[in-house]
Amino acid sequence: MEGFEMLGGNRLMKKVRGNYHGEAVAKAVGCYFPFFEKNRWPTKRLRLIALFLFVVSLCSCRKKGADCRPKSLPPINKIVNNQAVGSLLYYENADLGWFNNSYAKLQAAAYYSITASTIQHFSGTKSIRFELRNTDAEVQGGTRAELTFPMATSPKRWYSFALYFPSSDYKFDPEDEVVSQWHQGGSVTSPLCLRTKSDHLFLRILGETWVDLGALNKDTWHTYIMHVNHSASSDGLIEIWRGAQKILYRNGPNAYAINSTFHLPFWKIGIYKSSWNGSQTSATSRRVLYFDEIKLGNEYASYEDMFPTASIPPDDVTDTINQATPSTRSTGNMITDFILVNSATEKDVLTIRDGDVISLSRLNLTKANIRANTTTTGSIKFQLSGQQSKTSIDSNAPYALHGDDGKGNFYYGSWNPPAVGVYSLTATPFQSDYARGSAGTSKTITFTISR
């Protein structure tokens, strides 16, 4: 009877031994019934009744002050729907119910915009299918089909999801679209977002820096885990894994400063294509993609919490996504990529890779510039040689070979149009303005301009 006495049974058994009748025993455990008023039972039976009623009283949620919560939460790999599990704020695989609930909300224009699909699935039997058409009515001021989550309560968050781009319904388009974003209000663009453009996935930071995360690799699932400290200061952090491969580690500002205009971010996933707003069009008219195994972790979550429960595609384990993006923690300043810009429209055209041939007629390009993306701020020195030569220094982002006005207008210099021929471009980042201070890692590419 040791265990029973530790729970207060000693006091109860003394009352039983004193031949207290049923009413006293019932009142002692807080479960009195009139039945006991007319019944006096033997001590042995009263002992059994006392023990039974005491155990019942411990588990009764009606007893004031009782705590009947489970001793432990479901395991992390349990298939759940719209549930908070441990350090996870949200976990969705579309299998157990409708995902438009009190936590996540839909921003959709049509019945087909956001649906549960059995055609593609990463885990379980369903995924969330997003479809956007250029004829869709605008929602919340834009052409979108998105799932939106509540505002964060901490700047430190974990995110993970599986993503599938079908080649038949996600055609090549040089105009970008958002597939995930972290909005802070203020009626301005999101400070941090994942975008697709020209069949590549990019991370755009503060509207200026574009980090190429690699080709979309359509018709197969890929998993992504993100760890972010949303900050406008140097303590900002972004870590990204594709499958088991770490593809980005970046320190520095990645958010707007919190004030009366900007709040902590709220996460959105799906499709938002600003180039379809109003009466605008692009090279495509329809976009379809799939999300599955979506997890949102709080500041106490870990990589292990966010890791997918289903098997990771083999190529995600071994592939290096983009040699221009560090797969391990980078040290110092470096150039991540070069972006060809149409200076007539101020639009990004494509990421220039070593050995590329750029056709002016195919891209309908007459006035051009090249922007270099870097891991930190300061200045960049450009050295162009080939059919035309130029050396320039840009001390203000965005950093461009022919310069810009800092407001999104890119100059084109003598590239009106660029002369046909072979070129070599080297960009060297510096920690201070005017190519002063410590130099980072240079990046050189060779490319050809053709008609």
Question: By the 8 A CB rule, do 120 and 164 touch?
Answer: yes
Is residue 285 pLDDT above 60, yes or no?
Answer: yes
Is residue 262 pLDDT above 60, yes or no?
Answer: yes
pLDDT, greater one: 368 or 27: 368
Longest dimension (CA), the chain: 110
pLDDT, greater one: 203 or 37: 203
Q: What is the mean pLDDT of residues 215-237?
A: 94
Give the pLDDT of residue 76: 27
Q: Which single residue is written with the structure tokens 């890791």?
A: 307
The pair phi, psi for residue 315, each rounded to 5°, is -70, -20
CATH 2.60.120.200, applies to 88-318? yes
Q: Which single residue is written with the structure tokens 């018709």?
A: 219
172 CA to centre of own chain: 23
Most confidently modeled range among 23-37, 174-188, 312-326: 174-188
Window from 128-132, 270-274, 361-365, 436-440 with minimum mean pLDDT:
436-440
Q: What is the mean pLDDT of residues 251-263?
A: 94
Q: What is the mean pLDDT of residues 260-281?
A: 95
Alpha carbons 205 and 185: distance in angstroms, whole number? 16
Give the pLDDT of residue 167: 95
Q: What share of the chain in percent tops pLDDT 90? A: 51
In CATH terms, the fold of domain 335-450 is Immunoglobulin-like (2.60.40)
| 314 φψ region: left (φ > 0), alpha (ψ -120 to 50), beta (else) | alpha
Window from 1-15, 104-118, 206-220, 262-276 with minimum mean pLDDT:
1-15
pLDDT band at 42 (very low <50, low <70, confident <90, very high): low
Tokens of residue 248, six digits: 């980005």
Q: What is the mean pLDDT of residues 195-221?
A: 92
* Sequence-distant (≥ 6) Cβ neighbours of residue 48 within 8 angstroms: none
Q: What is the mean pLDDT of residues 323-343?
A: 63
* Sequence-distant (≥ 6) Cβ neighbours of residue 65 within 8 angstroms: none
Q: Where are the domains of the chain?
A: 2-59, 88-318, 335-450
3-state SS record for the chain:
CHHHHHHHHHHHHHHHHCCCCHHHHHHHCCCCCHHHHHCCCCHHHHHHHHHHHHHHHHHCCCCCCCCCCCCCCCCCCCCCCCCCECCEEEEECCCCCCCCCCCCEEECCCCCCEEEECCCCCCCCCEEEEEEECCCCCECCECEEEEEEEECCCCEEEEEEEEECCCCCCCCCCCCEEEEEEECCCCCCCCEEEEEECCEEEEEECCCEEEEEEECCCCCEEEEEEEEECCCCCCCEEEEEECCEEEEEEECCCCCCCCCCCCCCEEEEEEECHHHCCCCCCCCCEEEEEEEEEEEECCCCCHHHHCCCCCCCHHHHHCCCCCCCCCCCCCCCEEEEEEEEECCCCEEEEEECCCCEEECCCCCCCCEEEEEEECCCCEEEEEEEECCCEEEEECCCCEECCCECCCCCECCCCCCCCCCEEEEEEEEEEEEHHHEEEECECEEEEEEEEC
The pair phi, psi for residue 188, each rounded to 5°, is -130, 170
Give the pLDDT of residue 63: 36
Give the pLDDT of residue 371: 93
Question: By the 8 A CB rule, do 360 and 451 touch?
Answer: yes
pLDDT band at 258 (very low <50, low <70, confident <90, very high): very high
Residue count of the chain: 451
Is residue 277 pLDDT above 90, yes or no?
Answer: yes
Q: What is the mean pLDDT of residues 422-451?
A: 88
Residue-wise pLDDT tens digits, 140-180 = 999 999 999 999 999 999 999 999 999 999 999 999 999 99
pLDDT band at 436 (very low <50, low <70, confident <90, very high): confident
What single-letter amino acid sits at 198? S
According to DSSP, the β-strands at 245-251 and 105-107 are unpaired
Residue-wise pLDDT tens digits, 385-414 = 998 999 999 888 888 999 988 777 899 888
Q: Which residues, in sequence order, are bridge partners of residue 88?
A: 85, 297
Give the pLDDT of residue 98: 61
Equal CATH topology for 88-318 and 335-450: no
Give the pLDDT of residue 308: 84
Q: Which single residue is written with the structure tokens 């455990």?
A: 29
Question: By the 8 A CB rule, do 317 and 309 touch?
Answer: no
Window from 6-10, 276-280, 420-424 with minimum mean pLDDT:
6-10
What single-letter amino acid sits at 3? G
Q: What is the mean pLDDT of residues 183-210?
A: 93
Residue-wise pLDDT tens digits, 350-389 = 999 988 999 999 999 999 999 998 876 678 999 999 989 9
Q: What share of the chain in percent tops pLDDT 70? A: 74
Give the pLDDT of residue 169: 95
pLDDT band at 432 (very low <50, low <70, confident <90, very high): confident
Encode 10-45: b = buried (16+ Cβ within 10 Å), e = exposed: eebbebbeeebebbbbbebbebbeeebeeeeeeeee
Give the pLDDT of residue 67: 38
Alpha carbons 322 and 336: distance in angstroms, whole number? 9
